[in-house]
Structure 1
Amino acid sequence: MAEFILVRHGQASFGADNYDNLSEIGWQQSRWLGEYWRDRGIGFDRLICGDLLRHRQTTEGIYEGLEISKKASYSVFPQLNEFDFLAVVRLYGALYPDRVPGPDASRVDFYRFLKQGMLAWAGGEIAPQESWIDFEARIAEVRKNICDSPKGSRTLIVSSGGAIAMMLTQVLGGPVSTVANLNMQIQNTAISHLFFSAENISLHSFNHVPHLNRDKRREYITYS
């Protein structure tokens, strides 16, 4: 058997002009995750991430915690990038303007609206530049690459909530609604742990934050 660990990026800059940039909390989450693995003597044979800035920053924060040089190599796979959630909510809002969250809406309201938009995208009601089928295909492609890793190896993958949710849904064989449901749950720098062989992939754990779920750190558990 071999194994891979999926990690969602640290907290990004929700509400800022540039979402694709870790907040100070996001950097701290990433460093703590690396420290958690360092303290337990856990290392990785292969490290890969998407090519969004928040993916690279999270990887570098984990490196800091692991006390690995930032110059250490990692592979970049654009297939691990998040889907264009802004396009999804824009198109869904144009289709159903009465459902658009108001200016005083909370993050919960926004993510509920995004979930509805994802289901509309999967159902063909809206058509952003990337189709749902293309999204499925690129995640399947990168999953196959990950599973070509040698027996006994451990791979770390840093990505985004939607991409991780799609990959887990493909592993579990769930319906399209599972992607939206899982996406809404995944915490920043959360760990999902999988084992695989030539015949099978199995999910061992989902959405764990052991580096944050402790006294004086629970306030750092975030979802955006």
Structure 2
Amino acid sequence: MATIYLIRHGQASFGSANYDQLSELGQRQADATAEYLASVGIELDAAYSGDLSRQRETCERALAGQVDGVPHHIDARFNEVNNDEQVAALAPVIMESNPALAELISGGKPSSKDYQKIIEAVFTHWVTQDCSQYGIQTWEDYSSKAHSALREVMKQQGSGKSVGIFTSGGTIATLVAHVLGVSGEKVYRFYEPIFNCSVTQLFYSGDNVSLSYFNDRSFLQMLSLEKGENLVTYR
């Protein structure tokens, strides 16, 4: 069996001018991931990430703990879903029939918790409705590209390999749902609980792929105790 590790990026910079960069905590989480991979003897044959800065930096920091140089492939199909694009296009439509969402949005700059409620409403609408008329990437296009990227990694790397894919919560949720045969309308249930730098393991052989475990952050919990700081975050 070959193995793929789906690893979410470290904490990004929510609320800053540039969200797409690791926060200082996010950098420490990525470094902790390198420490974890080395300590349990996970030697990657190849690594992939999207082209987002937070994904690439997490990958680079995590690979710093590998004994041999690991090739790092950039594939934009592993990028996160475009939440900003979706909120801008779909929130005004949803607000017409969702007073609670309208109140959250009209209340000014939302907190991280409130923003997550907005993302849930918008994401659910995006995956269950035909949004092609809004000029944004559709769920069908996004998910099919993520699925094809995973298949190509499996084909390129072949049997007996250990591969890391450093990506984002929405992408991990999309891929896990696909592996489990879960419909798009239920993908958000996998999306919301994914921790920063958590690890999800897939096994594959040929074209067959299965889920071994999902969203493991136990190593971050252990390192939090050792280092005297909380390394476990959602956002």
Same fold (TM over 0.5): yes
What amino acid is aligned across from residue 81 of structure 1 in structure 2? N
Cα shift at 1:140: 1.3
Q: Which residue of 2 aligns with 1:44?
A: 44
Cα shift at 1:129: 1.7
**Range moving further from structure 2, 54-63 or 126-135:** 126-135
Cα shift at 1:45: 0.8
The number of residue pairs the alignment matches comes to 222
CA contact (8 A) 2:5 2:199 kept: yes
Cα shift at 1:116: 1.1
Taking every aligned residue pair, what percent have the same amino acid on both sides?
30
Cα offsets for 1:154-181 (capped at 9, x unmatched): 1000001111111111100001122211
Runs of 4+ in 1 over 4 A off after TM superposition: none
Q: Gapped runs of 5+ residues in structure 1?
A: none
**C-alpha distance in 2 between matches for 1:217 and 1:198:** 43
Q: Which residue of 1 aligns with 2:86?
A: 88
Q: TM-score, structure 1 length as denominator?
A: 0.92
- The question of 1:176 aligning with 2:181 is answered no
**C-alpha distance in 1 between matches for 2:34 and 2:68:** 9
**C-alpha distance in 2 between matches for 1:187 and 1:29:** 11
Which of 151, 156, 176 is matched with 2:159 structurally? Answer: 151
Q: CA RMSD in A?
A: 1.9
Q: Which residue of 1 aligns with 2:3?
A: 3
Q: Gapped runs of 5+ residues in structure 2?
A: none
Q: Which residue of 1 aligns with 2:141?
A: 134
CA contact (8 A) 1:32 1:65 kept: no
- Are residues 154 and 164 of structure 1, via their aligned partners in 2, closer, same or farther at CA, if it must alter by over 3 Å? same
CA contact (8 A) 2:33 2:62 kept: yes
- Are residues 77 and 48 of structure 1, via their aligned partners in 2, closer, same or farther at CA, if it must alter by over 3 Å? same
Cα shift at 1:125: 5.7
- Are residues 44 and 139 of structure 1, via their aligned partners in 2, closer, same or farther at CA, if it must alter by over 3 Å? same
What amino acid is aligned across from residue 41 of structure 1 in structure 2? G
Q: TM-score, structure 2 length as denominator?
A: 0.88
CA contact (8 A) 1:30 1:61 kept: yes
**C-alpha distance in 2 between matches for 1:219 and 1:160:** 20
- Are residues 151 and 125 of structure 1, via their aligned partners in 2, closer, same or farther at CA, if it must alter by over 3 Å? closer
Q: Where do residues 29-68 of structure 1 align in structure 2 (5 Å cutoff)?
A: 29-66=29-66
- Are residues 143 and 76 of structure 1, via their aligned partners in 2, closer, same or farther at CA, if it must alter by over 3 Å? same
